[in-house]
Structure 1
Amino acid sequence: MISYEYPLNERIRTLLRLEDLYRKLGHFHRSDAPQDHHVALITLFEVLEVAGRADLKVDLMQELERQRQILMSFRNNPEISEEALSGALYEIEQASASLLAMAGKIGQYLRENEWLMAIRSRAAIPGGVCEFDLPSYHFWLNRDPAARRGDLEAWIQPMLPIRDGLTIVLRLLRASGHPEPQLASNGSYQLTMSGRSAQMLRLRLASSEAAIPEISANKYALSIRFMRPETIARPRTVERDVAFELTFCSL
């Protein structure tokens, strides 16, 4: 199955973007290749850009506290595993404490590093980080892989509380809904929301289904068009019925 997620507000959109960036960051920084470490550094700059747009830390702490209070209400419920509940509460409390310990503006320590900011500025120019543009960066890319990785980990580590907090929030959000089988007649599906509230839609298709969902939604209606996965010609609507799963997620 292939999953597609569609955020219905800006806050969830930001969390999903950051989740994707942190996933790439974790992948590329573990490599030994200088090209992968370059991608990891550029990705870290993207994390800095996205995380710095809003008061993300406060939003995450407030949501974690809200979820903690909800979980606390399940104490002494015979249908809830006390061990699982305690583990979830501990995880939330640890993430909240780490976020609280983050002093100042997110990523300020990176902004104060002139060497990194010079790379960030040049990276915005196509081909702008060539060795003749940034010889000190060229030297760094030719250092021992373990030394480069050590630098990357030192730059990444202070940003990990954001990753840990959003991971918990998104996991709870995804677990909040129940998938329902649906059918798009002749490639199209419409639904009136009728007061149904959601923060994110999750759509799952069989991997063998050659169709890509184009989703449009607001508080009144949901519309999904399934398109053929063309890579050369203009995409066209699938002219057949498409079975899929749809989940409304909300915290």
Structure 2
Amino acid sequence: MTQEMIFEHPLNERIRTFLRLEHLLEKVEYFVAQSEQWSTRAAIEALLDVVAITARADIKTELLKEIDRNLSTLARVRHQPGVDPAALEEVVGGLDKAAAGIHDIAGQIGSNARDDEFLKAVAQRSSIPGGACSFDVPLYHHFLTQPIAQRRARIDQWFADMNPVHDAIRLVLSLARTSATPRSLTAEGGFFQEALDNQAPAQLLRVGVPEEWPVYPEISGHKNRFSIRFMRAEPGSRPVPSQDDIPFRLTCCVF
């Protein structure tokens, strides 16, 4: 089977925020598992980005709204032909557990890290290019020289109230990504557009491009229509629109 690159494009602000948080939370998880000082720095940088996002938006409310929307959708399809009751109950149970985890968070998401004086100092200096180097924040340098077990324990403490968020976002996005079957299509002359069903608003577009094609999609869209322009990457110069007929797979995720 041909390997493909997957490109995603959110069609509303809620999913846009969830995708950004998923990216950052996965970055924290990846780098916190490494032992090098540079990996710890990368984990903390991602953690500070999560703190910034959760300070600007009420992620707690947005997640609970999305979980409730999913539960309502599942309730409507419960008795439709072809629905596996056992699989449906498993998904509903996962959503209920995710909602309970969000409800159990005391206060605002990210407050463990946001209220920490050490992280406040690192965040303040990190806004300056190179500002968090060893001579600018000697306390940070001291922290990075501690044994990895000690560094991980501290990060786990800051991350504690974000774990339920990560679990909920993973579940919500997984349901969206698997809610429709991909269609095999062709972008004639490197361009494709399509209208969306207003009665079943899409949440997310997923575009699969065969790895052997040296192109990537630029996607623009909203709840009514979207377009895809395939671009060819040119080393050392600006990308140019492809004029080829590009085969791709499209998934309009409506769940």
TM-score tier by shorter-chain length is: over 0.9
Task: Give secondary structure in 1 for the equivalent of 2:21.
Answer: helix
Q: Which residue of 2 aligns with 1:211?
A: 215
Which of 119, 124, 145 is the equivalent residue of 2:122?
Answer: 119
Q: Does 1:50 align with 2:53?
A: yes
Structure 2 unaligned blocks of 5 or more: none
Which of 222, 226, 236 is the equivalent residue of 2:230?
Answer: 226
Q: Is the 8 A contact 2:112 2:157 kept in 1?
A: no
Judged with a 3 Å threshold, the aligned counterparts in structure 2 of structure 1 residues 59 and 228 are, in CA distance, closer, same or farther, namely same
Q: Which residue of 1 aligns with 2:136?
A: 133
Task: Give secondary structure in 2 for the equivalent of 1:183.
Answer: strand
Task: Report the AA paired with residue 45 of structure 2.
Answer: I
Structure 1 unaligned blocks of 5 or more: none
Task: Give secondary structure in 1 for the equivalent of 2:7.
Answer: strand
Which of 146, 150, 166 is the equivalent residue of 2:153?
Answer: 150
Matches within 5 A, 1:192-207: 192-193=195-196, 195=198, 197-207=201-211
The count of corresponding residues between Structure 1 and Structure 2 is: 251
Identity of aligned residues (%): 37
Partner Cα distance (1:77, 1:117) in 2:
52
TM-score by length of structure 2 reads 0.91
**Displacement of 1:71:** 3.4
Structure 1, 124-133 or 82-91: larger mean CA deviation: 82-91
Q: Is the 8 A contact 2:215 2:230 kept in 1?
A: yes
Matches within 5 A, 1:66-105: 66-72=69-75, 79-105=82-108
**Displacement of 1:75:** 5.7
Partner Cα distance (1:77, 1:7) in 2:
28
Task: Report the AA paired with residue 249 of structure 2.
Answer: E
Which of 42, 55, 61 is the equivalent residue of 1:39?
Answer: 42
Which of 18, 22, 42 is the equivalent residue of 2:21?
Answer: 18
Q: Which residue of 1 aligns with 2:246?
A: 242
**Displacement of 1:244:** 0.6
Q: Is the 8 A contact 2:185 2:247 kept in 1?
A: yes
Which of 180, 190, 215 is the equivalent residue of 1:177?
Answer: 180
Q: Does 1:62 align with 2:65?
A: yes
Q: Is the 8 A contact 2:110 2:159 kept in 1?
A: no
Q: Is the 8 A contact 2:10 2:16 kept in 1?
A: yes
Partner Cα distance (1:123, 1:242) in 2:
42
